[in-house]
Homo-oligomer: A and B are copies of this chain.
Amino acid sequence: MHYNSNFFFTIFARMLTMRTRYALRALIHISIESKDGGPVSASAIAEGQGISFKFLEAILHDLKEAGFVVSKKGIGGGYLLGKMPDAIRLADVIRTINGPIALVPCVSLNFYEPCSICPDESKCALHHIMTEVRDATLAILETTSLSDLIHREKKLLKRKIK
């Protein structure tokens, strides 16, 4: 079979990984469901968001290591936000779980690597345009916090009920 005949397969390459999407949904879930200040268990998040429990555990571990959540063991335990919701920027969560936000390493602010093909970045048109794309993306992701996401989610839910 020809290698180009994968006509009916969807290409998902280079998007946010499931891991990252689950991480973001988990943070939203924790924020919304822990109104009284009590922790939310991994199994509650997994069930509420439709995520495999064991996979989610690993993701929550990463989120904890990065300080986005804190945990409480034992009965009644679970996860709480490790920072104020307006201090958790979308860009930082993505960088932690997914990696660089830039489209090429030579324009990444946090994961910079020199380009293997263009010897001089200042002379590469792609370098220029990719810097613009990075800045446009960061303008959104660095100014959007978990707090903003929750506000939106709540607003969207209300609109539906009305």
Contacts and interface: CB of A to CB of B under 8 A. Distances in A.
Interface residues of A, number: 56
Given A25-B117, A123-B156, A125-B149, A99 B14 contact: yes
A129 interface: yes
Interface of A: 4, 10-18, 21-22, 24-25, 28, 49-51, 65, 90, 98-100, 102-105, 111, 113, 116-118, 120, 122-126, 128-129, 132-133, 136-137, 139-141, 144, 148-150, 152-153, 156-157, 160
Nearest to A62: B4
Contacts of A100: 11-15
B156 A51 contact: no
